[in-house]
Amino acid sequence: MTLTTPAPARGAVPAAPAVRNLSAPATARLLGDWRAAGPAYLTLADALRSAVLSGTVAPLTRLPSERDLATALGVSRTTTAAAYARLRDLGFAVSRVGSGTVAVLPRGSATVRGVQRPALPAGDAPAADAPGLDGPLDLGDPLDLGQATPSATPALHAAFSRALEALPAYLGTGGYAHHGIDPLRAAVADRYTARGVPTTPDQVLVTTGAQQAIALLATTFVGRGETAVVESPTYFHAVDALRRTGARVVGVPAGDVETLASAVRRTRPRLVYLVPDFHNPTGRSLTAQERAFVRGVADRYGVTVVGDETLTDLALDDDAAVPAAFAGDGASPRVVSVGSASKAFWGGLRVGWVRAPEHVVQRLARTRQSVDISTAVLEQLAVVELLSRRDEILPARLADLRTRRDLLVAGVRAAVPDWDVPSPGGGLCLWVGLGRPVAQALAAAAVAEGVHVTAGPVFTPDGASRDRVRLTFTRTTAELEDAVGRLARAWRRVLG
Amino acid sequence: MTLTTPAPARGAVPAAPAVRNLSAPATARLLGDWRAAGPAYLTLADALRSAVLSGTVAPLTRLPSERDLATALGVSRTTTAAAYARLRDLGFAVSRVGSGTVAVLPRGSATVRGVQRPALPAGDAPAADAPGLDGPLDLGDPLDLGQATPSATPALHAAFSRALEALPAYLGTGGYAHHGIDPLRAAVADRYTARGVPTTPDQVLVTTGAQQAIALLATTFVGRGETAVVESPTYFHAVDALRRTGARVVGVPAGDVETLASAVRRTRPRLVYLVPDFHNPTGRSLTAQERAFVRGVADRYGVTVVGDETLTDLALDDDAAVPAAFAGDGASPRVVSVGSASKAFWGGLRVGWVRAPEHVVQRLARTRQSVDISTAVLEQLAVVELLSRRDEILPARLADLRTRRDLLVAGVRAAVPDWDVPSPGGGLCLWVGLGRPVAQALAAAAVAEGVHVTAGPVFTPDGASRDRVRLTFTRTTAELEDAVGRLARAWRRVLG
């Protein structure tokens, strides 16, 4: 590794435009608590690299000057210069003469968590002049243990064929159903009723996936400067959606309902977001007693509690039944449930739903008209079909996921005995304890070995969980086996 | 009509919960400049009724007390009491003993612009005790001259069949394509290139409909307290999306680019939103000179100008070619184009797109992950197919819309000679001048006659255009013929 600032000709990419400037204070904020054991420049470089990999820092972002970043972070300029040099060496940054350092993705890491490597503008310097873009990493597509969506159920194609048969009844209309088409609202309501929560179609809003449901709830219930309480760690796009409303997001330890209650008492939030079943990422489920306790908190403090049941169908242990509905048989007016077709059937289906009191459904439906008008009709018809065949479809899917989970758990336990690898009762991921706060370094080293994992801090509102990574088990068994070896090598890189 | 306050038993709906309180100042704000010729209580009742019909005031909203509303509006309490009484008589409000007046939709107006009449809670008072809910209006579904989406192209079903053949290639993935699937990005880029704006797939973001594109642009470019400039009148959901970011929305007369330029100079907005072709609702298109002028404004002041080309394909006059691309052959980096499959093919397809510089596409793609992750894959494949057959599909669709436009224009001109009924060169609606500021009264009277039209103030950020209504011509010719007679009767009601 070189600690010298490269000569102007090196790493210069004359025609690559930086598209966005990241200020030093903003960089400091997004890095959060980046310090860990080891030399500061290495830790800083790893944190920056992780931010680029996760998409937190977009490719082609111009990073702050070495001097400004040093001031903002309270480190020496030598440290920031060395960190930037290391980023360049690894292919995660290039320098432009006279205009600083620009974040890029290394050539070959074409798509990482959906963040595409920017195409080089026409007239760009050839590779020989831009070693930063043609550096030591040339990976092909990394094995993705980051994305938590399995491939489609084999039943999907037939469901769409059936949906297509039902479509003509809708083609004479304008195609807008702001609350969702009647058969889907009824099917979703019936499913809640069957799970012990009497529900009418009027209490169901169809959304364009669960993420839209969460975003609608965030914008509808939480205003700028108001508070939302989430578990920490938690599903990170929920935190994003809440932060985008200008909310203050307060984290409480995942699954700790007593602390949750005291946070509600203390901060008087407008909304609590939690994942009651096969929690993302910890895998834990709330007990019946804990659920009842949370519903009591909702009622006592008049706070809306959103239970994200996206993963609820994915009970993997043989003895695990589908969990009881979070809303409870009393169907507290303060408890809102979110569900989705993405995990049981396919992520490429963009259909989710909210179960809530009717007046909440009406409010959300008004908001959603300025968001995306309504959800695609054929998608909804396909989900009606899939839900009606749920009991035929799910067992094979669960068996498949169970095999993958068991393979990854056993493989990682054997390959890296240092790690704590709990086997979750359901869901799609392992929440692996590393025993030391090096998650970002591991995520970066894993990319160098051709596998993508997600560092723990991504899942926490405050950058904690630096001793954890999340590994999803949605890829094929062959890919998972391959990934295990790469993870072990990445760990040796980190230790070395 | 009665001017007396009803006795407690009358209109009492003990079990109907009001779900939201509207304060008197908020009511005054949303009514805006509600005064018009005629008795104040009638004008006020019409304005409130129009607000309920348009969804501005949600069903089951508790209105302010007569006293508070009188204070906020600067009218006598007699006026507000009489207005509320009229609302009750018309079925748009009910009174609850001791807890004021609650807005409702009349029984029978099951769906008006997608706002569904709330189901009565179990245990509700029977109709005899709740005349407000069972009043003089019992309409069945009104003829909808409000919604601006035609029924589906006959080619849609075949396009989905072909899409289904292409789907298996995607089923092995998680189904998320945050920027859109490659074939659709390429097809959209090719279409812009063919229209004279060289475009690469990297400059295209696929969105879940044009409304999502507008909402993403609003949240990405406009912060709280910052300014956005729109035409007035304009597409109202764009104003909604901008307001939801906390933006100050400044309106300039539609099509008046000089005033637009001076507003930009004066207010230094972050974003300008306009509809360059077959403007919604006025039907006017910008000339080539006006487009070039607006692009110059974008460059000179460094403001992002969003051109909504949702209606661009709908050139209805025989001599009208498809308009030139708004971005211009120079493809100004400040000009962003929005498009959609909803008007040319079907609104029930939720696929739109943004054409913008690549760095803007990257920013929008990051934001959209916290909004709805990505757009449904099969929908995108269907749009690839439809775009490839665009030149076969569109002529029949345009011929059909032309027939409907001509029928509605001729019918309304003949039935109501008082009105100014311009025939637009394209698009989906007529912007009818009433000659007097009674749009809200007409919209309310039209509902009483079983037809839904949209009052001009809905399309303006400041409640202006009270002398206009928008009539869409997307329904069948039989429905349009029926609607003409109803509109004439509604106008006689207003005059009477």
CA distance linking residue A96 with residue A332, whole number of Å = 58
Residue-level pLDDT at B86:
82
**Tokens 């007239």 sit at which residue?**
A123
The string of pLDDT tens digits covering residues A153-196 is 999 999 999 999 999 999 998 999 999 999 999 999 999 999 99
Contact A114 B376 (CB under 8 A): no
Report the largest interatomic distance among the alpha carbons of chain A, rounded to a whole angstrom. Answer: 70
| Of residues B370 and A52, more confidently modeled | B370
- How far apart, in Å, are the Cα atoms of A358 and each of A166, A272, B119, B237, B351? 27, 19, 9, 23, 28
Q: Which residues contact A491 (CB under 8 A, 6 or more apart)?
A: A416, A418, A419, A442, A445
Q: How confident is the model at residue B135 (pLDDT cuts 50, 70, 90)?
A: very low
Q: For B216, which residue in chain A has the nearest alpha carbon? A: A371
Range B157-164 average pLDDT: 96
Residue A455: alpha-carbon gap to chain centroid = 11
List chain A residues with CB under 8 Å of B362: 19, 58-60, 118
What are φ and ψ of residue B455, in 5° steps?
-70, 145
**Quick one: residue B129, left, alpha or beta (phi over 0 = left, psi -120 to 50 = alpha)?**
alpha
CA distance linking residue A41 with residue A63, whole number of Å = 15
Please give the full DSSP string across A63-82, using - where no structure is assigned.
Answer: PPPHHHHHHHHT--HHHHHH
Is residue B112 scored above 90 in pLDDT?
no
CA distance linking residue B208 with residue B309, whole number of Å = 15
| Of residues A285 and A323, more confidently modeled | A285
CA nearest to B214, candidates B245, B181, B169: B245
Is residue A118 scored above 90 in pLDDT?
no
Tally of CB atoms within 10 A around A292: 15
Residue-level pLDDT at B11:
30
Q: For B177, which residue in chain A has the nearest alpha carbon? A: A114
Task: Answer whether 0.90 is exceeded by the pTM.
Answer: no
Residue-level pLDDT at A87:
85
Among candidates A20, A171, A366 on the partner chain, residue whose Cβ is nearest the Cβ of B58: A366
**Touching check for A177 and chain B: CB below 8 Å?**
yes
CA distance linking residue A56 with residue A458, whole number of Å = 9
Contact A373 B55 (CB under 8 A): no
Residue-level pLDDT at A99:
59
Residue-level pLDDT at B314:
95
| Of residues A131 and B161, more confidently modeled | B161
Q: Are A22 and A57 in contact (CB under 8 A)?
A: yes
CA distance linking residue B449 with residue B457, whole number of Å = 21
Tally of CB atoms within 10 A around B419: 19
Contact A362 B208 (CB under 8 A): no
Q: For A16, which residue in chain B has the nearest alpha carbon? A: B359
Contact B208 A350 (CB under 8 A): yes
Alpha helices in A279-376, H assignment, sequence order: 288-301, 358-369
Range A308-335 average pLDDT: 86
Contact A174 B19 (CB under 8 A): no
Q: How far is A212 from chain B (nearest CA, A)?
A: 5
Q: What is the ipTM of this complex?
A: 0.76
Residues 143-162 of B with CB under 8 A from A: 147-152, 156-157, 160-161
Q: How far is A412 from chain B (nearest CA, A)?
A: 23
Is residue B109 scored above 60 in pLDDT?
no
CA distance linking residue B208 with residue B367, whole number of Å = 13
What residues pair up with A21 in beta bridges, in sequence order?
A62
Residue-level pLDDT at B96:
61
The order of strands in the sheet holding B352-355 is B204-207, B352-355, B335-340, B304-308, B271-274, B227-232, B248-253
Contact A377 B348 (CB under 8 A): yes
The string of pLDDT tens digits covering residues B201-222 is 999 999 999 999 999 999 999 9
Query: Considering Cα of A375, then A379, then A381, then A386, what sign does the dihedral take?
Result: negative
Residue-level pLDDT at A13:
30
Q: Are B101 and B27 in contact (CB under 8 A)?
A: no
Is residue A130 scored above 80 in pLDDT?
no
Query: What SS3 state is found at A442?
Result: helix
Q: How far is B78 from chain A (nearest CA, A)?
A: 31
Residue-level pLDDT at A48:
87
Residue-level pLDDT at B234:
98
List chain A residues with CB under 8 Å of B174: 147-151, 347-348, 474
CA distance linking residue B10 with residue A210, whole number of Å = 44
Q: How confident is the model at residue A78 (pLDDT cuts 50, 70, 90)?
A: confident
Q: Are A455 and A440 in contact (CB under 8 A)?
A: yes
Is residue B122 scored above 70 in pLDDT?
no
**Touching check for A181 and chain B: CB below 8 Å?**
no
Contact B349 A376 (CB under 8 A): yes
Contact B118 A20 (CB under 8 A): no
Among B164, B206, B219, B362, pick the best mutation site for testing chain A contact (most A Cβ within 10 A): B362
What does chain A come to in residues?
Answer: 496
Query: A21-35, A449-463, B251-265: which range is least confident on average?
Result: A21-35
Among candidates A19, A366, A379 on the partner chain, residue whose Cβ is nearest the Cβ of B379: A379
The string of pLDDT tens digits covering residues B348-395 is 999 999 999 999 999 999 999 999 999 999 999 999 999 999 999 999
CA distance linking residue B201 with residue B431, whole number of Å = 37
Q: How far is A39 from chain B (nearest CA, A)?
A: 32
Contact A350 B246 (CB under 8 A): no
The residue type found at B122 is A
Residue-level pLDDT at A27:
87
Q: How far is B70 from chain A (nearest CA, A)?
A: 27
Contact B474 A174 (CB under 8 A): yes
The string of pLDDT tens digits covering residues A250-279 is 999 999 999 999 999 999 999 999 999 999
Query: pLDDT over 70 for what percent of chain A?
Result: 86
Residues 410-429 of A with CB under 8 A from B: none
Is residue A436 scored above 50 in pLDDT?
yes
Query: A55-64, A133-142, B4-13: which range is least confident on average?
Result: B4-13
CA distance linking residue B49 with residue B447, whole number of Å = 10
Contact B171 A346 (CB under 8 A): yes
The string of pLDDT tens digits covering residues A360-394 is 999 999 899 999 999 999 999 999 999 999 999 99
Q: Are A372 and B208 in contact (CB under 8 A)?
A: yes
Is residue A483 scored above 60 in pLDDT?
yes
Q: How far is B418 from chain A (nearest CA, A)?
A: 31
Contact A170 B348 (CB under 8 A): yes
**Touching check for A433 and chain B: CB below 8 Å?**
no
**Touching check for A208 and chain B: CB below 8 Å?**
yes
Q: The tokens of A279 are what? A: 């929690």
**Tokens 């107006």 sit at which residue?**
B109
CA nearest to A37, candidates A461, A442, A416: A442
Residues 95-114 of A with CB under 8 A from B: 114
Is residue A119 scored above 50 in pLDDT?
no
Q: Which residues contact B319 (CB under 8 A, 6 or more apart)?
A: none
**Touching check for A190 and chain B: CB below 8 Å?**
no
Query: A77-91, A355-369, B84-98, B285-299: which range is least confident on average?
Result: B84-98
Contact B151 A173 (CB under 8 A): yes
Q: Which residues contact B397 (CB under 8 A, 6 or more apart)?
A: B150, B153, B344
Residue-level pLDDT at A113:
33
Q: How far is A266 from chain B (nearest CA, A)?
A: 26
On average, the pLDDT of chain B sits at 85
CA nearest to A322, candidates A386, A382, A211, A398: A398
Residue-level pLDDT at A220:
94
CA distance linking residue B481 with residue B414, whole number of Å = 12
Contacts A–B by Cβ distance under 8 A? 234
Is residue A79 scored above 50 in pLDDT?
yes
Residue-level pLDDT at A313:
94
Range B384-410 average pLDDT: 96
Q: Which residues contact B221 (CB under 8 A, 6 or more apart)?
A: B270, B271, B304
Residue-level pLDDT at A93:
80
